[in-house]
Structure 1
Amino acid sequence: MTDHSLAHRAQHPTRTETVHLPPSTPPTNHGRTVAAWTTTWVVVAGALVAALGVAFALVWLFWVGMAIAVGGLVLGKVLQLLGHGQGGAATLARARRRGAH
């Protein structure tokens, strides 16, 4: 039987871990981009409209809210593809204008 206790593993390391550093410094905006904020607020607005549809028992209003939420997801992806997302050209240019690294 093999000893798999914590003390045994601490005294007898069996392998080493390889550390892989990123090729460059990651963006410093922590995901606060135009695409992210637009997606978030449009989806929240759609969810609010859908919730009102459920609260007032209006099926059509629920589906309008769901369409708004899905539209927000599509809009966010389009903004990301246009460079307004994390690491995008527009986001990097905006960070340079604001003096970020």
Structure 2
Amino acid sequence: MADHSLAHRAQNPTRTESVHLPPSAAPTNHGRTLAAWTTTWVVVAGGLVAALAVVFAVVWLFWVGLGICLLGIVLGLVLRGAGHGQGGAKTLERQARTGGH
């Protein structure tokens, strides 16, 4: 009779698992790029404007705040396309100049 207890299965594994590692190391900047910071702060500013518009019941200012948020996203994409994002030429150049961070 086969032993199917938890202790037996823990001591006698019946299958092996393969490990899938990435082909290269991840970037070391942890997302601290010009594109990321610009996107974050412009969207935060737009959210603040929209929140204040809700508090003071100013409808047009709410839409301006949402427009600022959208502008921040577009600006981040443009900066990433210009090489200031994760893995971009400008970011890699700055990392080489400052020691990787």
Q: Do both share a fold (TM > 0.5)? A: yes
1:73 is aligned to 2:73: yes
Shift of 1:84: 1.0
Q: Secondary structure at the residue paired with 1:69? A: helix
The residue type paired with residue 77 of structure 1 is L
Following TM superposition, by how much is the alpha carbon of 1:70 offset from its aligned partner in structure 2, in angstroms? 1.1
The amino acid that maps onto 1:14 is T
Distance across 2 between alignment mates of 1:64 and 1:8: 65
How far apart are 1:17 and its partner, in Å?
2.0
Cα deviation code 1:30-56 (max 9, x no counterpart): 110111100100000000000110011
5+ residue gaps, structure 1, are: none
Seq. identity, % = 75
- Amino acid of the structure 1 residue aligned with 2:16: T
RMSD: 2.0
* Structure of larger gyration radius: 2
| TM-score using structure 2 length | 0.85
TM-score, normalised to structure 1, is: 0.85
Size of the aligned set, in residue pairs, is: 99
Alignment of 1:1-101 (within 5 A): 6-100=6-100
The letter of the residue matching 2:89 is: A
Distance 1:89 1:24 in 2: 17
Q: Which amino acid in the other structure matches residue 29 of structure 2?
A: N
In 2, Cα distance between equivalents of 1:62 and 1:6: 59
* Structure 1 runs (4+) greater than 3 angstroms displaced: 3-9
Q: Tell me how far 1:65 sits from its aligned partner.
A: 0.2
Query: One-letter code of the match for 1:66?
Result: L
Partner Cα separation in structure 2 for residue 49 and residue 15 of structure 1: 57
